[in-house]
Amino acid sequence: MNFNTILGSVDFLEFLRGKKATFLLSASVTKTAEIPNISQAGIPGKLYLTPTLDAEFLCTKEVRSLEDIAQTPKGVPTPALITRAVHELNPFSNIEILNLGLELIPQIEHFKIHNFDMKPSGRIDDGAKIQAMEIFQKGLSFAQSFETKDDYVILAESIPAGTTTANATALALDYECEGYFSSSYKNNPSDIKNQTIINALKRVEKNSDIFEKLSLVSDNMIIFNAGFILGSRANNLKVLLAGGTQMAAVLLVVNSILKSMDGEIDSSNIALCTTKWINEDENSNIKALLEQLDFPINAYASDFDFSNSSHPALKLYDEGEAKEGVGCGGALCYASINSIDEMKLIEKIESFLG
């Protein structure tokens, strides 16, 4: 197992080789996920459960708020399996959950669940009504006061329909996005997604304040983590943004906020880590998103895939049916700098599927 460099140099990730990581899962719900067929990250009609179940499975290997592990209609297993398998083979020192507006609190003990008094964000085709400035400041101050004994933080997300809100966010902030955003589907349900995004953008006025725009078209995860990134510079925390185009959107928001206030960021201790499925996705282009940043960014993609697995449900990843989530790209990059054996990892993931 190894990783490829999308942007920047290998040095940052190489420096973290063998070092200790805290894994933070940003678990959030946007009611945008209620739009039929907009995402396959979970059980139709119950997508709001996905981040709760992902948090439970990651921490305990048990799904408690539902009987079975969340599986999509075509049977694509949640990427939480990948992240959990990495955790079993070379444990993160610490896992903490960020409740960024969940419907259901994960049923777990001992693990820290940070509550920020947030509600699920609204449907973006209905003017999401997010308290964007407030949520941004919560992320900012959480990061400023965040303390860890570990060497770096892996910041992951679980928010169904999050690529739709990420795409709308980047468009509202005037980034070039055509064909750049990923989807949990292989055959990107472009009609539904695009129509949702178009409806969302109708409400956005060109000259509004950035936080006004975010309040209409974004989600709690993106806004909070943009704050987190900026706040984390106070203590120069090393942060791996574990995710695909949604995490790219977090960085684009950071970029726009900096621009709006003529600010700068030392981004040398921040990197984005994603999967091969995102990096090689023909229907999206994470590199093109990241190249629009005005600050340099390190970005890496794991080279892990399921070509050495014979499990049909896992093969769906290689076929593009699922690509990212629950920080699996970051976890796979972490695996590659902590000498996890590829076959052992595949066997561990398969063992969860029975």
Site for a second copy in 156-185 (CB under 8 A): none
**Minimum distance between the CB of residue 237 and a second copy, rounded to whole angstroms?**
14
Please choose, out of 3-11, 116-124, 208-216, 312-320, the segment that lies near a second copy by the rule CB under 8 A.
Answer: 3-11
* Whole-number Å distance between alpha carbons of 169 and 223: 10
In angstroms, what CA-CA distances link 294 with 6, 89, 150, 255? 16, 37, 29, 7
Q: Smallest distance, Å, CB 62 to a second copy?
A: 7
For a second copy, the closer CB: 59 or 272:
59
In the complex, least distance from residue 97 CB atom to a second copy, rounded to whole angstroms = 12
Q: Are strands 152-158 and 112-115 parallel, antiparallel or unpaired?
A: unpaired
User: How big, in percent rounded to 5, are the helix, strand and coil portions of the chain?
Assistant: 40, 15, 45
For residues 270 and 297, the answer to whether their CB atoms sit within 8 Å is: yes
Taking the least distance from each CB to a second copy, the nearer of 5 and 283 is 5
Question: Does residue 12 interact with a second copy by CB under 8 A?
Answer: yes
Nearest to 13 by CA among 21, 284, 231: 21
Residue from 7, 66, 89, 105 touching a second copy (CB under 8 A): that is 89
SS3 98: strand
Of the pair 17, 311, the CB lying nearest a second copy is at: 17
Can you list the positions of beta strands (E) in 33-150?
94-99, 112-115
Contact between 338 and a second copy by CB under 8 A: the answer reads yes
Told to check if 71 binds a second copy by CB under 8 A, we report no
By the rule CB under 8 A, 94 interacts with a second copy: yes
Based on the shown chain and the rule CB under 8 A, indicate whether residue 343 belongs to the binding site for a second copy. no
Contact region for a second copy (CB under 8 A) — 108-116, 162-170, 200-208, 240-248? 108-116
The residue among 214 and 345 lying less far from a second copy, judged by its C-beta, is 345
Q: Which residue has the tokens 């308290």?
A: 131
Q: What CA–CA distance (Å, rounded) separates 172 from 197? A: 10
- Calculate the CA dihedral of residues 8, 332, 75, 54 and round it to 10 degrees: -100
Does residue number 65 form part of the binding site for a second copy (CB under 8 A)? no
Q: Is 19 in the site for a second copy (CB under 8 A)?
A: yes
E strands, the chain, are 3-7, 21-27, 94-99, 112-115, 152-158, 239-242, 270-274, 298-302
Binding mask 221-250 toward a second copy (x if CB under 8 A, else -) reads: ------------------------------
Q: Calculate the CA 30 to chain-centre distance.
A: 14
Q: Does 315 bind a second copy (CB under 8 A)?
A: no
Residue count, binding to a second copy (CB under 8 A): 29
**Structural contact between residues 84 and 56, judged by C-beta atoms closer than 8 angstroms:** no
**346 touches a second copy (CB under 8 A):** no
Binding test (CB under 8 A) with a second copy, winner from 61, 114, 287, 315: 61
- Beta-carbon contacts of 198 under 8 Å, excluding residues fewer than 6 positions away, are none
Residue from 44, 73, 91, 263 that binds a second copy (CB under 8 A)? 91
> CB-wise, 150 or 318, nearer to a second copy?
150
| Distance of closest approach, residue 238 Cβ to a second copy, in angstroms | 9
b/e 271-292 (16+ beta carbons within 10 angstroms → b)? bbbbbbbbbebebbbbeebbeb
Question: Does 295 contact a second copy by CB under 8 A?
Answer: no
110 vs 206 by CB, closer to a second copy: 110
Per the DSSP assignment, residues forming a β-bridge with 7 are 299
Residues that bind a second copy in the complex, under the rule CB under 8 A: 9-12, 14-15, 17-19, 59-62, 87-94, 108-111, 268, 337-339
